[in-house]
Amino acid sequence: MNDILPDQCAIWQYLEDCFRAVAGSRGYREIRFPLLEQTQLFKRSIGEVTDIVEKEMYSFEDAGGDHISLRPEGTAGCVRAAQQHGLLYNRQQRLWYQGPMFRRERPQQGRYRQFHQFGLEAFGMAGPDIDAEIIELSAAFWRRLGLADSLKLELNNIGSAADRERYSAILGEYLASRADELDPAARGRIRSNPLRILDSKHPGNRQVARDAPAMTEYLSPESVAHYAALKQLLAAAGIGFTENPSLVRGLDYYNCCVYEWTTEVLGAQSAVCGGGRYDGLVAQLGGRPTPAAGFAIGVERLAMLLETLGKLPANAQFRADVYIVVIGGAISAASQALARRLREQFPDRRIVCQCGGGKYSQQVKRAFDMNARLLVVMEQAEGEPPRQVKLRDLHNSFEPRLAPIDQCGQEIGRLLSQNL
Name the residues that contact ligand AMP, by CB under 6 A: 73, 103, 105, 110-112, 115, 117, 250, 271-274, 296, 298, 300-301
d(C-alpha 119, C-alpha 138), whole Å? 11
**C-beta separation of 293 from 276 below 8 A:** yes
In Å, what is the CA distance from 216 to each residue of 188, 229, 419? 25, 16, 55
Minimum CB–partner distance for residue 161 and ligand AMP (Å)? 19
Q: Which is nearer to ligand AMP, 15 or 353 (CB)?
A: 15
**C-beta separation of 277 from 119 below 8 A:** no
Q: Which is nearer to ligand AMP, 209 or 273 (CB)?
A: 273
d(C-alpha 163, C-alpha 213), whole Å? 14
Q: Which is nearer to ligand AMP, 105 or 307 (CB)?
A: 105
Alpha helices by DSSP H, 125-280: 128-145, 161-177, 184-187, 195-198, 203-210, 221-236
d(C-alpha 261, C-alpha 234), whole Å? 14
Minimum CB–partner distance for residue 135 and ligand AMP (Å)? 14
Q: Give phi and psi for 402, each to the nearest 5.
A: -100, 145
Q: Which is nearer to ligand AMP, 107 or 404 (CB)?
A: 107
Name residue 353's amino acid. C
Q: Which is nearer to ligand AMP, 46 or 125 (CB)?
A: 46
Q: Which is nearer to ligand AMP, 145 or 320 (CB)?
A: 145
For 208, other C-beta atoms within 10 Å of its C-beta total 22
Q: Which is nearer to ligand AMP, 105 or 411 (CB)?
A: 105
Minimum CB–partner distance for residue 405 and ligand AMP (Å)? 51
Minimum CB–partner distance for residue 131 and ligand AMP (Å)? 16
**C-beta separation of 15 from 82 below 8 A:** no
Minimum CB–partner distance for residue 269 and ligand AMP (Å)? 7
Containing H/E element for 282?
helix 281-284
Minimum CB–partner distance for residue 8 and ligand AMP (Å)? 14
Residue 103: name the closest of 66, 73, 68 by CA: 73
Minimum CB–partner distance for residue 318 and ligand AMP (Å)? 24
d(C-alpha 137, C-alpha 132), whole Å? 8
Q: Which is nearer to ligand AMP, 99 or 329 (CB)?
A: 99
Q: Which is nearer to ligand AMP, 57 or 372 (CB)?
A: 57
Alpha helices by DSSP H, 55-160: 75-84, 128-145
d(C-alpha 236, C-alpha 231), whole Å? 9
Minimum CB–partner distance for residue 15 and ligand AMP (Å)? 13
Q: Which is nearer to ligand AMP, 171 or 266 (CB)?
A: 266
Minimum CB–partner distance for residue 300 and ligand AMP (Å)? 5
Q: 114 forms bridges with which residues in the sheet?
A: 102
Name residue 3's amino acid. D
d(C-alpha 386, C-alpha 313), whole Å? 38
**C-beta separation of 361 from 369 below 8 A:** no
Minimum CB–partner distance for residue 282 and ligand AMP (Å)? 18
The residue number with the shortest CB distance to ligand AMP is 298
Residue 276: name the closest of 235, 310, 244 by CA: 244
